[in-house]
């Protein structure tokens, strides 16, 4: 359970080798599901969360195609229509793969495990990506920029964020009209299965 040489950065492989000695035990967790994309000659995981069922992964992918990718990829009107059509097919067929003109996406099963050692479960490794600064550091940075994080000033949304909001609201209306509420990935909403 250690990455092959050259498959990952050296520090990631070295941390995995170290963990195989310090935390040699392993407990398998229930599988999760996520979305991978075929890029070049390899399947690569997307920046999607692990979800408990294929249904939830399909639902997240549908929202990505209908809403998020529309804005993030700066799609033209014909490209947007193709993405919406792909999302319609994905939902109607309950399929696990969708192909667009330039992309191939698949819902994949993810096997997960926890390593255990004499001191208990393994904690984060030095090579684990952790881009978020501690909250107090973020707070201090905002104060140094002249922003009071305690003030309840209205947030000004840029044009792309406003478009995302409009598309999410349209998707919510579409789902309500079809007898479904929005996916759990949208903050503050629920979903009926």
Q: How many CB atoms lie within 10 A of CB 116?
A: 14
pTM across the whole model: 0.74
Half-sphere exposure of 104 (CA within 13 A, CB side): 7
Mean pLDDT of successive 10-residue segments in the chain (193 residues)? 82 93 94 94 82 94 95 94 95 93 91 94 92 89 86 82 94 88 46 43
Going by their DSSP bridges, the two strands 97-99 and 104-117 should be labelled as antiparallel
From residue 155, alpha-carbon distances to 72, 78, 158, 161 in Å are 20, 32, 10, 11
């Amino acid at each position: 359970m250690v990455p092959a040489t050259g498959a990952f950065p050296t520090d990631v492989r070295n941390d995995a080798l170290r963990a195989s000695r310090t935390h040699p035990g392993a407990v398998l967790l229930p599988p999760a599901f996520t979305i991978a994309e075929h890029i070049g000659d390899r399947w690569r995981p997307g920046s999607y969360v692990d979800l408990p069922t294929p249904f939830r992964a399909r639902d997240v992918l549908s929202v990505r195609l209908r809403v998020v990718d529309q804005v993030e990829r700066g799609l033209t009107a014909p490209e947007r229509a193709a993405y919406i059509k792909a999302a319609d097919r994905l939902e109607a067929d309950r399929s696990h793969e969708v192909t667009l003109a330039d992309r191939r996406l698949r819902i994949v099963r993810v096997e997960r495990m926890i390593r255990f050692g004499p001191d208990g479960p393994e904690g984060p490794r030095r090579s684990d990506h952790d881009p978020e600064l501690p909250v107090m550091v973020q707070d201090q940075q905002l104060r140094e920029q002249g922003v009071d994080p305690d003030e309840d000033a209205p947030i000004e949304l840029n044009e792309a964020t406003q478009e995302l909001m409009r598309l999410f609201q349209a998707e919510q209306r579409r789902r309500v009209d079809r007898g479904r509420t929005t996916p759990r990935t949208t903050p503050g909403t629920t979903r009926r299965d």
